[in-house]
Amino acid sequence: MSLRGEVAQVSVEMETKSPLPCPNTVTVRRNPHRRARPTPSTTAPQIPVPSSSSSTIDRDIPSFPIQDILSIEIPQKGQSPTKPDLPSSSSSSTDAPVSENLRVYLRIRPLLPPKATVRNGGAGEQNHRSRAKNAWPQNLANKGSARDKNAMKKSGEACLTVNDFQSVILSPPLALKESKRIKSEVYGGFSQVFPPDSSQGEVYERMLKPLVEDFLKGKSGMLAASGPSGSGKTHTVFGSPREPGMVPLALQQIFKQSEGNNSETFRSFSISIFEINSERGKGEKAYDLSPDGTELSMQQSTIKGLQEVVISDAGQGESLIARAMLKRATGMTNANSQSSRSQCIININSVVNKVDEVGNNAVLTIVDLAGAEREKRTGNQGTRLLESNFINNTSMVFGLCLRSLLEHQKNPKKPLQKHFQNSLLTKYLRDYLEGKKRMTLILTVRAGAEDYLDTSYLLKQASPYMKIKFNNVEESSIKNGNKRHVQALPRVEQPKRMKLSGLEAQPEEGKCIGEEQGLSEEEASQIFRLDVNENATRKSDFPGLAEKERNHQIMQNFTKAIWNVLKEYNQKLKVAESEIQSLKENLTNEKTRSLELGKELEDLKSCCTCSKGLHGDASLVKICTSSESIVELNGSNNVEEKDVDLHSSSLRASNCNDTLGKCDSCPRQDKYVFSQEKGGNFSLKLSGFNCVDNKQESDATESSSDVDIRNASRFCVENCNQQNYQVGDIYPKIRHDLGDLNESKSLGVKYNYPDANVTEVAISYSRSHGIVRDDSCSSVELDQLLTKEDKESWDLPPSPKEDAAFTQARSGLDVLDSEPISGTPYRDLNLEKLSRKPLLASSIWPRDCSALDVEDGIMEPVDLLDPPQSQKEKVTFTKECDADVVPNIEPRVDSSRKLEKPKRRLLPASSILVRDFSALGVVDDVEKPKSNRPGRKLAMDERKTTQGRIALLRLLKINPPP
Ligand SMILES: Nc1ncnc2c1ncn2[C@@H]1O[C@H](COP(=O)(O)OP(=O)(O)OP(=O)(O)O)[C@@H](O)[C@H]1O
C-alpha cells in the first residue's frame, strides 16, 4: 500500500468512527505491523522508556507500570519536574474540605558506610559513583552498554535500584531468582524516591519543607518515618551534627521564617518529645523525654502530663532534641549498633497570638518509628526479641490502620476498623490514621541483597498507601474561620487557663486553687509562690504562652502536692490497716484462749463435781445416810438445793440429758437411787438400800431399812444398772448399836459404772461387820482398794496387784463418802440442820476432807486414805485403831486445795464415824471377828490380841479347861 493510500484510508476511518472533527495533523506510523500504544496526552511528561538495547536487563521485569505513570499528576509548565505533586496550600480556594493523597516518600540508604565513602576519595565523588550505580535509568540512558553491564554486575549487590524519581526496581538476589523464580518488580507511585546519595537537605527540601510552610500558616501535619531496622529512619529524622535531620532543619526554617513575620503577630513555639516503648515486651509505656520528663499516661488519644518546653530559637530546640535522644531507649542488634527500641514522637507546637484575636495553634508532628525487625536479621534474643515483638506489632497495627482507611475510602460501606486501639502510638495518631489530618510517610530501605526480603515486604505493604486521601478538615475549618480545630488537637493536654490581673491576684488565685484542691490556704499560697517563681525564671517573650505555661505549672504543682498528700494518707491507711490486723489477731488469740480457759474450767468443774460418773452432764448426788442423814449433791450448779426428804423428795436439775429412771427392780425401798429422767431433769429418789449379804440375805432383806450389819461379813449394795439409768451411790442405812460396833472405818469402794468412763469409789465397811460394796464392782478394782490384809480379813479373793494397785487406783478415785455406820454419834451432829444443807462435791471426802472445818459441833473429818497431816488426832487414832487394817498409804495433801477454806462444810460420815470411835475407845471390841472363816479369825485374833486377851490366854494356859 502506498503512503497516500494509507493516509486516505485513515482519513476515511476517522470520518466514519469518530464524530469529532478531524485534527489538523495526523501522525501515521510507517510500520503498520507494530501496535501503537495509546498516546495519553501531548502534555504528558517524558517518561524515559528503556530502549530495546536494555531488553536483556529488563527481561525479568513483569510489567511496566504504565497505568501508574498515567495517573501521575502532570506538572504544569514551568513547574519543577522533580516536584510533580508538591502540595500547594493556596491552590484550593473553595470552602470544601481539601482532599489530597497521602504522600509517600522513599529513601534508599547508601550501601557503603559514609566513612568508607570518605576514604574512597571524598563524599562528592562517592556520591556521584553511588548515584551512578543505583539511579536508573539515568545510568543506562547515559552510559554505554559496557558500563551498563558493569553497573549491573555491581547492582547484583543491590536489590533495589531507582527506576525514576517516583519508582524503584526491586530485583531479587540471584539465588532467589533461580530457586524461586522470583522476578524483578517495579514499585512506583512514590511522591519522590530519594536515591542513596540524597543529602539530608534534599530530602528536607522535597519532603518536609512544604509541611513546615503549612505549619507556619497554621496547618498541622505529620511526618512518619517507617522502614526496617537500620534503614536510616533515625538518621533521616534527627540526623547527626554533620548532617542534621528533618527536625533540626525544620526548626531552623521555623525560626528563620518567623523572624520575618508581621510584628503584629506573636508566635511562640514549644517542643514536646516522648517515646512509647515496651519493657520486656510487657505492655506499652510512654515516657516524656524532655529534661524533667516522667512516665506519661494516656486517656483516649490524649497524652497526660507531657511537658511542652518553650523554645525561642532553633538552637534551644536542637539541644532539647539532642538531650532527648540521649534518654531514648536504644539497643544494639545485628542490624543496627544503635537501634531504636521505641517509637519517638516530636511535636513542634506553634501558638499564634494576634493582638486582637486568638490565633490558630498548629502542630508539626514527626514520628520516628522503631524499625520492623526480623529475628534472623537482627539476631535478637531474650529481651531484645520481646522488644522486637512490640516493635513489629506496632508497625503492623500502624499498617492495618492505613489499610483499613484505604478500604473504607474505596468502599465507604466498609466500616473503618478501629485498629488504632491496639497500640498507644496509633491511638495517639488516630486523627491522622483516620484521614482527618494531613500525613506524610517516608519509607527508608536498604538496598543490599541481604535486605531484599525486608525491602520487598515494606514496598508491598506501603505501595497501596499512596492512594489514601486526606480530607483536610482542619484546613477547611481555618478557611471557614472555625476554631474547632484547636480542640481537635488531642495530643497534648491543654492546661486550664486562668485569668490574672496583676500581682494582687496571686494570693487570691492560690487560695482559690487551694479551695478547689482541698488544700489549706498556706499550702496553696506556697505552691502558688513556687510556681510563680519558677515561671519567672522561664524565658518567655510571649505573654499568652507564658500565661499558659504558668497555669500549667500551677496545675502541675498542685497535682504534685495532692499526690504527696494522698501518698501520706495511703501510708497512714496502711499503718492503720496493719494495726487493725494485729488487733484482730489478738482478739482471735484472746477468744481462743478464753475458749480454752472455758474448757479447762468446764473440765475442772466436771472433775470437781465427779459428774462424769453419771452419764455426762448429770450431777452426782450423794446420799450419806437415812432420812436423818445428809444429802450431798455433787456437781451441777443447776441442781436446785432443796431440803430433802430422803424418802420422798426429788432434786431437780437441768442439763441432765439422760433418761430418767427409777430403780424399779430394786425389791426394797431402802435404797437411794439416783436416776435421771428424759427431758433433762434428774431426780433423786430414796428407795432405800438393797443391801444383802450373800450369806445373810434374809437378814438383810428382812431388816428393812434398818440393817443390822453386825453379823454380816459383807454388805453388797446392789447396783441397779438398768439400761438408761445408773444407781449413784447407794448407801445402806445401817443402824446398829454403837456398843456392837467395835471398830469401823470408811474406805472408798470403787463403783464401776458400765456406761461411764469414770469410776466412783465409796466404801464403807465395818471391821466387825464386813464391807459394803457394790456388786458390780469388779474384783480387780476392789482389789486395788484393799490391802492383802483387808482381803484376808474380809474374805475377799486375793489380788495379784496388792498394794501397788491400790495406790494406783486410789490416785484416780472420785470418791463418794462412805456411809457411816450410824448410830448415836450421828444424832449428836445436829443432823436436822445438816440435812438441809447439801454439800458440794468439792467438799466431799476424800478429796476435800482436809479443807473441812469443825463448826457447830460437827466433827472434823478424817480421811482415812489420805488423812491431813495437821490433824494429828485423827491420824493417831487411825494408827492406834487400825494400824494393821488401814492400807499403808502415805498421807497426801493437795496444797492447792488447802488454800480454799470453805466456811461451812458438811463432814463426811466416815470421819464422824472414826472420830466417834476414837472417842469411844472401843478398840477391844473389835476383837469380835465376823469372818466366816475360822482360820482367818484365828489369825486375826492372833494379830489383834489385846492385853485382856493375853491375860485370858495366860489364864487358860495356866488353868486349861477340862
Ligand atoms: N542516608 C544515610 N546516609 C548515611 N548514613 C546513613 C543513612 N541512613 C542511615 N545511615 C546510617 O545507618 C545507621 C543506621 O541508621 P538508623 O539508626 O537511622 O537506622 P534506623 O532505621 O533508625 O534503625 P532502627 O529502626 O533500628 O532504629 C546509622 O549509623 C546511620 O548513620
> What is the tens place of the pLDDT at every residue in 870-926?
333 333 333 333 333 334 434 444 444 444 444 444 444 444 443 444 444 444 444
| CA-closest residue to ligand 1 atom 6 | 232
Listed in sequence order, the DSSP H helices in 518-542 are 521-537
Please say if the pLDDT value at position 481 is more than 80.
no
What is the tens place of the pLDDT at every residue in 433-464?
888 888 899 999 988 888 888 888 888 888 88
Give the C-alpha distances (Å, rounded to integers) separating 7 from 1, 22, 606: 10, 13, 138
Atom of ligand 1 nearest to the CA of 444: 21
| CA-closest residue to ligand 1 atom 2 | 109
Residues touching ligand 1 (Cβ under 6 Å) are 109-110, 114, 227, 229-235, 336, 338-340, 370-371, 444
Distance 338 CA to ligand 1 centre (A): 9
Q: Which carries the bigger pLDDT value, residue 762 or residue 949?
A: 949
Task: Please count the helices (runs of H) and the strands (runs of E) in the chain.
Answer: 33, 27
| CA-closest residue to ligand 1 atom 9 | 232
| CA-closest residue to ligand 1 atom 14 | 230
| CA-closest residue to ligand 1 atom 15 | 232
Per the annotation, does 272 bind a ligand? no
Distance 504 CA to ligand 1 centre (A): 55
pLDDT confidence tier of residue 733, bands split at 50, 70 and 90: very low
Per the annotation, does 196 bind a ligand? no
The pLDDT value given to residue 106:
92
pLDDT confidence tier of residue 95, bands split at 50, 70 and 90: very low
Atom of ligand 1 nearest to the CA of 198: 1
Please say if the pLDDT value at position 245 is more than 50.
yes
Give the C-alpha distances (Å, rounded to integers) separating 795 from 729, 732, 789, 865: 23, 21, 9, 21
- Determine which of 401-405, 505-509, 709-713 has the lowest per-residue pLDDT on average: 709-713
Distance 926 CA to ligand 1 centre (A): 128
Distance 231 CA to ligand 1 centre (A): 5
Distance 253 CA to ligand 1 centre (A): 24
What is the tens place of the pLDDT at every residue in 110-162?
886 544 443 333 333 333 333 333 333 333 334 334 444 444 444 457 788 88
Distance 230 CA to ligand 1 centre (A): 5
Distance 209 CA to ligand 1 centre (A): 21
Per the annotation, does 229 bind a ligand? yes
Distance 121 CA to ligand 1 centre (A): 22
Count of other CB atoms within 10 angstroms of residue 692: 23
Three-state DSSP at 603 gives: helix
Place of cell 511496566: 64
Judge whether 217 and 291 are in contact, CB under 8 Å: no
Atom of ligand 1 nearest to the CA of 338: 17
| CA-closest residue to ligand 1 atom 10 | 232
Three-state DSSP at 200 gives: helix
Q: Which carries the bigger pLDDT value, residue 166 or residue 938?
A: 166
How many whole angstroms separate alpha carbon 218 and alpha carbon 744?
128
The pLDDT value given to residue 244:
92
Distance 456 CA to ligand 1 centre (A): 18
Please, which residues have CB within 8 angstroms of residue 246's CB and are 6 or more apart in sequence?
A: 200, 203, 204, 207, 208, 223, 236, 237, 238, 239, 366
Phi, psi dihedrals of residue 446, rounded to the nearest 5°: -105, 145
How many whole angstroms separate alpha carbon 64 and alpha carbon 81?
21
| CA-closest residue to ligand 1 atom 16 | 232
Mean pLDDT of 228-232: 86
The pLDDT value given to residue 33:
55
Atom of ligand 1 nearest to the CA of 369: 25
For residue 100, the cross-strand partners are 470
Atom of ligand 1 nearest to the CA of 370: 25
Per the annotation, does 233 bind a ligand? yes
Distance 345 CA to ligand 1 centre (A): 17
Please say if the pLDDT value at position 703 is more than 60.
no
Please, which residues have CB within 8 angstroms of residue 901's CB and are 6 or more apart in sequence?
A: 851, 853
Count of other CB atoms within 10 angstroms of residue 485: 20
Distance 192 CA to ligand 1 centre (A): 19
Q: Which carries the bigger pLDDT value, residue 790 or residue 382?
A: 382
DSSP per position, 762-797: EEEEETTTEEEEETTS-HHHHHHHS-HHHHHHHTPP
Please say if the pLDDT value at position 622 is more than 70.
no
Phi, psi dihedrals of residue 567, rounded to the nearest 5°: -60, -45
**Ligand 1 mutation target, pool 118, 199, 235, 368, most atoms within 8 A of CB:** 235
Distance 239 CA to ligand 1 centre (A): 9
pLDDT over 70, % of the chain: 38
Atom of ligand 1 nearest to the CA of 108: 1
| CA-closest residue to ligand 1 atom 23 | 230
Q: With the CA atoms of 857, 858, 862 and 868 taken in that order, what torsion angle do they form, in degrees rounded to the nearest 10?
A: -80
| CA-closest residue to ligand 1 atom 8 | 232
Three-state DSSP at 169 gives: strand
Please say if the pLDDT value at position 740 is more than 50.
no
The pLDDT value given to residue 816:
35
| CA-closest residue to ligand 1 atom 1 | 109
How many whole angstroms separate alpha carbon 249 and alpha carbon 790?
125
| CA-closest residue to ligand 1 atom 31 | 235
What is the tens place of the pLDDT at every residue in 24-62?
555 555 555 555 555 544 443 443 433 333 444 444 555
List the grid coordinates of 907.
463432814
List the grid coordinates of 829.
451432829
Atom of ligand 1 nearest to the CA of 339: 26
| CA-closest residue to ligand 1 atom 30 | 235
The pLDDT value given to residue 376:
67
Atom of ligand 1 nearest to the CA of 235: 18
Going by their DSSP bridges, the two strands 167-170 and 631-634 should be labelled as unpaired
Mean pLDDT of 8-23: 46
Distance 445 CA to ligand 1 centre (A): 10
| CA-closest residue to ligand 1 atom 4 | 114
**Ligand 1 mutation target, pool 336, 444, 451, 455, most atoms within 8 A of CB:** 336
How many whole angstroms separate alpha carbon 934 and alpha carbon 596?
59
Winning range, highest mean pLDDT, from 133-137, 463-467, 753-757, 842-846: 463-467
Distance 329 CA to ligand 1 centre (A): 16
Atom of ligand 1 nearest to the CA of 200: 1
pLDDT confidence tier of residue 207, bands split at 50, 70 and 90: very high
Mean pLDDT of 832-861: 37
Distance 81 CA to ligand 1 centre (A): 28
The pLDDT value given to residue 806:
38
Distance 342 CA to ligand 1 centre (A): 15
**Ligand 1 mutation target, pool 111, 127, 234, most atoms within 8 A of CB:** 234
Please, which residues have CB within 8 angstroms of residue 228's CB and are 6 or more apart in sequence?
A: 335, 371, 372, 373, 374, 377, 444, 445, 446, 451, 454, 455, 457, 458
**Ligand 1 mutation target, pool 106, 109, 343, most atoms within 8 A of CB:** 109
The pLDDT value given to residue 247:
92
pLDDT confidence tier of residue 773, bands split at 50, 70 and 90: very low
The pLDDT value given to residue 185:
86
Please, which residues have CB within 8 angstroms of residue 527's CB and are 6 or more apart in sequence?
A: 510, 513, 514, 519, 554, 557, 558, 561
How many whole angstroms separate alpha carbon 294 and alpha carbon 563?
15
Q: How many CA atoms lie within 13 A of 875 on its CB side?
A: 13
Atom of ligand 1 nearest to the CA of 227: 21
Per the annotation, does 227 bind a ligand? yes
How many whole angstroms separate alpha carbon 518 and alpha carbon 402?
46
Sorted by where each starts, the structural domains of the chain and their CATH numbers stand as: 193-478 (3.40.850.10), 610-931 (no CATH)
Distance 177 CA to ligand 1 centre (A): 28
Judge whether 527 and 561 are in contact, CB under 8 Å: yes
| CA-closest residue to ligand 1 atom 11 | 232
Count of other CB atoms within 10 angstroms of residue 455: 28
Per the annotation, does 680 bind a ligand? no
